[in-house]
Amino acid sequence: MALPGSVIKQLARIVGDQHVVHSPNDLRIFERDGSITGAVPEAIVLPANRDEVVEVVKLAAKNRIPIVPRGAGTGLSGGAITVRGGIALQLTRMRRIVEIDPIARTATVEPGVVNADLQHAVGRQGLFYAPDPSSQKACTIGGNAAENSGGPHCLYYGVTTNHVIGLEVVFADGSVAWLGGDAPDRVGLDLLGVMVGSEGTLGTITRIKVKLLRLPEAVVTLMAAFPTVDTASHAVSDVIGHGIVPAALEMMDRVTIGAVEAHYRAGYPVDAGAVLLVEVDGLRESCNELAGAIERILHTNEATGLRIAADAEERELLWAGRKGAIGALGRIRPNYYLHDGVVPRTRLPDVLRRVTEIGDHYRLPVANVFHAGDGNLHPNILFDLRDDGVMDQVEKAGEEMLYAVVELGGTLSGEHGIGIEKNAFMPWIYGPDDLDAMLRVKQVFDPTGQLNPGKIFPDPDREPATLRARAGFCSEAQWW
Amino acid sequence: MVVDGLVPVRVEKPSTAEEVAGLLRAAAEAGEAIVPVGGGRALGFGNPLERFDVALEMLGLNRVIEMSQGDMTVSVEAGVTVEELNAELAKVGQFVPIDPFNAPGHTVGGVLAAGLSGPLRMRYGSPREFVIGLRVALPDGRLASSGGRVVKNVSGYDLNKLHQGALGSMGVIVAASFKVFPRPLHEVTLEARTRDGWTEAARALELPMPPVALELTSDGRLLVRLAGTRDAVRRMARELGWPEAPDEVWSEHSRRGGRVWARVSVPPGKLREVVETFGERATWWASPGVGVAHWVGDIDAEGVQLARAAAERTGGTLVLIAASVDLKRQVGTWGSPPATLPWMLRLRDAFDPKRTLSPGRYLS
């Protein structure tokens, strides 16, 4: 597929020659994101500002060309993949932090601003932006808003949608609007809330206003080892059952611990069945009391080798291990498929047992590293792409794990999005009437279906998922 | 039952979600206007109804569907009252931080549809931030669910948001799931009486552990609720230096409301200047940390217009939560329409093409 030369010329006129990529070789660079599939776009366009986005979107609307907004391409559900061809609208040139208001505690940024860069900028003013995806060194705030990203500290602080107060959006027809704003209540429907997490299928985000929080006075990070994932899961439930919601509550299993320790030397106990990383923050008094209480609860749950980070450096190292865990897994197998599902917290032991069984069945190593406090699991299926037919096995295993999540009352994604990875599974959790309501919204904002087509909703043109025969099992009765 | 001076032709009292959906569909097919009624605590909210054929009394949907202490989630039908919900949760040391004014008696469905919030919004945000699932009956007789029963969920569009604060214009909420919170380990309420309430409030908001609620009233009272570990709460109480007050002040405070009642929502830093436009003798209470103020009593059209203009200049709003039909006709409930109104109207038409649901009240 290739766009007509006349369209390429017009695109070049809008954003400048050097900001339109259309040679077949160069296009391949943008074939992938962080997911396991890919598709080559017909053109890559890198606008410098909102007005250029508007012109590109209008041109695309006129010529019926799909538009796929793209940030850093770290997404794990294929949200940035141009499955129906068209223009990959690369927003990383729009990377200005427009304003930081330390009094109102807000920041306004362009979509290409990297999450960690915003953190550094606001950190200098004693503030922080709460959502902290593990890819925060690369992923962009625009992508975070489009996917409603999470992160370890979302347990206490909430996910992206709880921190975005305003969005500037370019709609499918090229019109522009601000959604939300500084005032706490708006008149009219909460379009802001619908736009966050809509994966670029309802509009293109060109500016984001976020809430900032004051850095806590104190932070205490604990690490504890457990004989098994089961005992660690019970400890998680027990901490929260005591009325303590830590800032973060993360788990790593034995496979992950081994890889992380070999790579980071963070002092993780390699003989443990599971490790919990617990962080509390707030006043010094609160931290001491809570850390003490948590320590006691963990001990009654068979914790061994409990350690409290002595200083910021040690804390950073513990977190570096957690946030870099996925990369470290490359020591075990060169490729991974990182899944994302959420179960009610108390079902964690059940679902992890199923995950292990499924991995064993397909003879694939599985590493678990995840947000235990939220019940948000991330089984990592490890493999070597050079092994014959392995991809098929990997996908089947992933699908079965996801199905187990749904069977236990969970959902398809907690923070990675649906994209093209899980759209075929949507009928597992939503009935026809539920999906119909969502499609009405899509139809209003994108009647010609040009915005990130082929995402979120089951696609009749794509091969049905293997387990799709079971679709519809999760009727509303299951939910309600 | 009279709303905006109109009396319905009949009152329906469904007890299941399916019955609600069936009644909506029948009303839509007959071209009737149907108005859901929960606890009746916010019936005057919105522009005057254009038509009123069927009152849909929701109190029969009163089941707690599922409460899971360990998962810290709860699912209830829409007719359950906020007090009933929190009484259930209190048995296991948990609560949902929904504390609307003009309490008690709000139903869960009503408070979500009306987008009401109270003092605890300071710490927990409005219900928007902790509603994790909704089930909504639509005028074509469908029942559509969004979200689920897990605390983190990005599967599909977040239509939970679409129905909250929409005053039933997009569908009738029949059930809701919430992320719940543990009761704080330790809590204390302080009360100060001061001439310069705004400055004192600002001081409280800058504490290293801010209050979970902070309310300022027109008669110079400041109410603060501190929550956390015992030592942390003690330290903050010491820093503030205000005397302790009994917990009951909050339930008294939550009973506030009025036959004429305006709500201002502005960026917190602008709240004081907007509240000052109410006039020196006005009766009001405010959450300075949130940017919301409630104004009740002797309010006329001129007063509304003046305060509304001030609120809208800051990018905020003034809406009438309750008012006479005359006042609502004179100044309107909502003020200036948002620039995105055309999108909103298209969405409404996609969900309620025949204007079956409370016509006239919300978007026009």
CA distance A107 to B275: 26
Chain B 35-74, residues with CB within 8 Å of chain A CB atoms: 65, 68-73
Taking contacts as CB-CB distances below 8 angstroms, the residues of chain A near B154 are 147-148, 159, 197, 413-418
Q: Six-digit token pair at A200?
A: 């670029």
Compute the distance between CA of residue A291 and CA of residue B229 in angstroms, rounded to an integer.
11
In contact, B68 and B164? CB cutoff 8 Å:
no
Question: Sign of dihedral through CA atoms B137, B138, B143, B146?
Answer: negative
Please provide the CATH number assigned to the domain covering B186-248: 3.30.70.1710
Among B125, B153, B209, whose Cβ lies nearest the Cβ of A282?
B209
Residue A461's pLDDT is 67
Of residues A290, A414, A480, nearest to B135 (C-beta): A480
pLDDT value of position B286: 98
Residue range A333-479, CATH number: 3.30.70.2740
Q: Would the CB atoms of B158 and A197 count as touching at under 8 Å?
A: yes
Q: Which residues make up the CATH 3.30.70.2740 domain(s) of chain B? A: 261-331
CA distances from A200 to A109, A176, A180, A195, A442 (A): 17, 15, 18, 8, 11
- Measured distance CA(B71)–CA(B352) in Å, rounded: 35
Per the CB < 8 Å rule, is A375 touching B152?
A: yes
Of A183, A417, A476, the CB nearest to B291: A183
The residue of chain B with its CA nearest to that of A192 is B161
Do the domains at A5-90 and A333-479 have one common CATH topology? no
B159–A194 CB contact, under 8 Å = yes
Task: Tabulate helix, strand, coil % of chain B (nearest 5).
Answer: 30, 25, 45
Residues of chain B with Cβ-Cβ distance to A194 below 8 Å are 157-159, 161-162
Q: What is the DSSP pairing of strand A164-170 with strand A218-226?
A: unpaired
* Contact call for B162 and A104, based on CB within 8 A: no
- B contact test, residue of A157, A176, A245, A480 with most B CBs within 10 A: A480
Choose, out of B157, B162, B361, B362, the residue to mutate when testing the contact with A (most A CBs < 10 Å).
B157
Q: Nearest residue on chain A to B161, judged by CA atoms?
A: A193
Interface test with B, best of A189, A249, A285 (most B CBs within 10 A): A189
CA B71 to chain centre: 25
**Is the CB of B265 less than 8 angstroms away from the CB of A185?**
yes
Task: Locate CATH 3.30.70.1710 in chain B.
Answer: 186-248
Q: CB B154 to CB A418 under 8 A?
A: yes
Nearest CA in chain A to B266: A183
CB contact under 8 A, B145 and A479: yes
User: Does B228 lie at the interface with A, CB-CB under 8 angstroms?
Assistant: yes
Chain B positions touching A148 (Cβ under 8 A) are 154, 158
Interval B198-226: pLDDT, tens: 999 999 999 999 999 999 999 999 999 99
Interface test mutation site (partner A, options B74, B140, B154, max chain A beta carbons within 10 A): B154
Q: In the 8-state DSSP scheme, what is residue B77?
A: E
**Per residue in B253-286, is it b (16+ CB within 10 Å) or e — as a string?**
bbebbbebbbbbbbbbebbbebbebbeeebbbbb
Q: In A227-273, where do the E strands start and end?
A: 248-253
Do the chains contact at B157 and A197, CB–CB below 8 Å?
Answer: yes
Tell me the CATH architecture of domain B261-331. Answer: 2-Layer Sandwich (3.30)
Give A5 to chain B, closest Cα distance, Å: 34
| CATH classification code of B1-183+335-364 | 3.30.465.10
Give the model's pLDDT for residue A326: 86
Contact B351 A437 (CB under 8 A): yes
User: Would the CB atoms of A444 and B347 count as touching at under 8 Å?
Assistant: yes
**Whole-number Å distance between alpha carbons of A320 and A312:** 12
Q: At residue A403, what is the residue type?
A: Y
Q: Which residues of B touch A290 (CB under 8 A)?
A: 229
Residue B161 contacts A, CB cutoff 8 Å: yes
CA distance B313 to chain A (A): 11
3-state SS, residue A149: coil
Mark yes or no for CB contact B158/A193 under 8 Å: yes
Query: CATH assignment of A218-328, given 3.30.70.2190, 3.40.190.10, 2.20.28.90, 3.40.50.300?
Result: 3.30.70.2190
Could you identify the residue written with the tokens 């029949």?
B174
CA distance A49 to chain B (A): 22
| Nearest-by-Cβ selection for A243 from B185, B315, B347 | B185
The residues, ordered by sequence, that sit 6+ positions from B297 with a Cβ below 8 Å of its Cβ are B258, B260, B282, B283
Q: Which of A190, A238, A442 to mutate to test the interface with B (most CBs of B within 10 A)?
A: A190
Chain A residues within an 8 Å CB radius of B334: 187-188
Which residue of chain A has the CA closest to B152?
Answer: A414
CA A141 centroid distance within chain: 11
Query: Which residue in chain B is spatially nearest to A162 when comparing CA positions?
Result: B129
Binary contact (A183, B317; C-beta < 8 A): yes
Instruction: Quote the pLDDT of residue A29.
Output: 86
The string of pLDDT tens digits covering residues B281-330 is 999 999 999 999 999 999 999 999 999 999 999 999 999 999 999 999 99
Specify the pLDDT at position B201: 97
Q: How far is B97 from chain A (nearest CA, A)?
A: 15
Q: Mark yes or no for CB contact B93/A243 under 8 Å.
A: yes
Interchain CB contact of B342 with A (< 8 Å): no
The residue in chain B having the minimum alpha-carbon distance to the alpha carbon of residue A435 is: B144
Residues of B with CB below 8 A from A143's CB?
none
Is B154 within 8 Å of A417 when comparing Cβ atoms? yes
- Write the CB contacts of A82 (distance below 8 Å, at least 6 apart in sequence): A30, A39, A40, A41, A42, A66, A68, A88
CA–CA separation, B77 and A433 (whole Å): 19
Domain boundaries, chain A: 5-90, 97-214, 218-328, 333-479
| CATH number corresponding to A97-214 | 3.30.465.10
Token pair, residue B2, equals 């009279």
Chain B residues 252-311 with CB within 8 Å of chain A? 263, 265-269, 290-292
Cite the beta strand spans of A52-201 per DSSP E. Answer: 67-70, 87-90, 97-101, 106-109, 127-128, 164-170, 176-180
**Chain-chain contact of B228 with A283 (C-beta, under 8 angstroms):** yes
Return the residue of A nearest to B125 by Cα.
A162
User: Measured on CA atoms in the order B323, B324, B327, B329, is the torsion positive or negative?
Assistant: positive
Identify all chain B residues contacting A192, using CB atoms and an 8 Å cutoff: 161
Which residues in chain B are closer than 8 Å to A234, comparing Cβ atoms? none
pLDDT reported for residue A327: 86
Cis, peptide link before residue B139, omega less than 30° from 0: no
Residue with tokens 């019109």: A175
Q: Is B148 on the interface with A (CB under 8 A)?
A: yes
ipTM: 0.97
Contact A240 B182 (CB under 8 A): yes
Tell me if A480 and B17 make a contact (CB, 8 A cut-off). Answer: yes
At residue A62, the pLDDT reads 97
Provide the residue-wise pLDDT of chain B in tens; the chain has 364 residues: 899 999 999 999 999 999 999 999 999 999 999 999 999 999 999 999 999 999 999 999 999 999 999 999 999 999 999 999 999 999 999 999 999 999 999 999 999 999 999 999 999 999 999 999 999 999 999 999 999 999 999 999 999 999 999 999 999 999 999 999 999 999 999 999 988 899 999 999 999 999 999 999 999 999 999 999 999 999 999 999 999 999 999 999 999 999 999 999 999 999 999 999 999 999 999 999 999 999 999 999 999 999 999 999 999 999 999 999 999 999 999 999 999 999 999 999 999 999 999 999 998 7
pLDDT per residue as tens, chain A (480 positions) = 689 999 999 999 999 999 999 999 999 988 999 887 889 999 999 999 999 999 999 999 999 999 999 999 999 999 999 999 999 999 999 999 999 999 999 999 999 999 999 999 999 999 999 999 999 999 999 999 999 999 999 999 999 999 999 999 999 999 999 999 999 999 999 999 999 999 999 999 999 999 999 999 999 999 999 999 999 999 999 999 898 999 999 999 999 999 999 988 888 999 999 999 999 999 999 999 999 999 999 999 999 989 999 999 999 999 988 988 888 998 999 999 999 999 999 999 999 999 999 999 999 999 999 999 999 999 999 999 899 999 999 999 999 999 999 999 999 999 999 999 999 999 999 999 999 999 999 999 999 999 999 999 997 766 544 443 333 333 333 444
The answer to whether B113 and B168 are in contact (CB under 8 A) is: yes
